[in-house]
Amino acid sequence: MNLSGKAAMVTGAAKRIGREVALTLAREGCDVIVHYGTSVPEAQTLAAEITALGREALVLQAHLDRPADLRRLAAAAQKQFGRVDVLVNNASAFFPLELGNITPKAMQQLFAVNSVAPLLLAQAILPGMKRRRCGKIINLLDISVERPWPSYMAYCASKAALWSLTQSLALAAAPHVQVNGICPGAILWHKGLNKADIRRQTARIPAKRRGEPQDIAAAVVYLCQTDYVTGQKLVVDGGRSVAW
């Protein structure tokens, strides 16, 4: 699919990987729906940068664990641009939850944002893609879908559920709409890691470096531009998953 003139929605676009994905899609010629949860100034700054690239930016707030917000988000995006050609489900809830401390409320929070929200957004946007016989849905997964982490048990389960949904959606969307997942490795170190932790983590990566948000954005562009890849997960981890 040629991205020039297309409309792309990126959830969790205000910061980190989502920000780079949104900017990269704008550079490729997309108008961008910038979703954010609470990061108002960051979302507004991103929108200004997209506008400076000569593309249109629509900034929309939504709590992804609220079905009414999801319906409003999808409706507002499609009203503004008449369609959504690319949906990137990037937003994610992430926190540790070990066996013995797991509660129904925490499980619901993780699954609501990481599994249910991508499905409901796809459900709202996919009919238009199918009518136009063109569209891309890309879900941000995690390398933990293959090798889960015990200390993040519930998070890993929610991402594994999203991987299963990605495959099911690919079948439901075929033949003209493609649905894929991206499994990032160590892209941005989380705040709890000290220098020794970072050195140990880096040593385990064959590429001998962490990834950058641009690496994930490039993977998004690839999956947008190919029409013969669907129902797959693209691992972007510097080789970490084969060097366990």
Mean pLDDT value across residues 153-177: 97
Residues with Cβ within 8 Å of 242's Cβ and at least 6 positions away in sequence, in order, are 206
Chain mean position to CA 215: 13
The reported pLDDT for the residue numbered 242 is 87
Q: For residue 204, what pLDDT band results from cuts at 50, 70 and 90? A: confident
Question: Under CATH, which number does the domain 7-235 receive?
Answer: 3.40.50.720
Between 217 and 204, residue with greater pLDDT: 217
The reported pLDDT for the residue numbered 243 is 80
The reported pLDDT for the residue numbered 217 is 98
Residues known to be catalytic: 155
The reported pLDDT for the residue numbered 10 is 99
Rounded Cα gap, residues 176 and 204, in angstroms: 39
Residues 55-110 have pLDDT tens digits of 999 999 999 999 999 999 999 999 999 999 999 999 999 888 889 999 999 999 99
Q: Is there a cis peptide before residue 175, judged by omega within 30 degrees of 0?
A: yes
Mean pLDDT value across residues 199-226: 93
- Paired sense of beta strands 31-36 and 57-61, if any: parallel
Q: For residue 161, what pLDDT band results from cuts at 50, 70 and 90? A: very high
Do 75 and 19 meet the contact criterion of CB atoms below 8 Å apart? no
Chain mean position to CA 189: 18
Rounded Cα gap, residues 237 and 46, in angstroms: 26
Mean pLDDT value across residues 157-184: 98
Predicted TM-score (pTM) of this structure: 0.95
Residue 241 confidence (pLDDT) above 90: no
Q: What does the domain layout of the chain look like in residue ranges?
A: 7-235
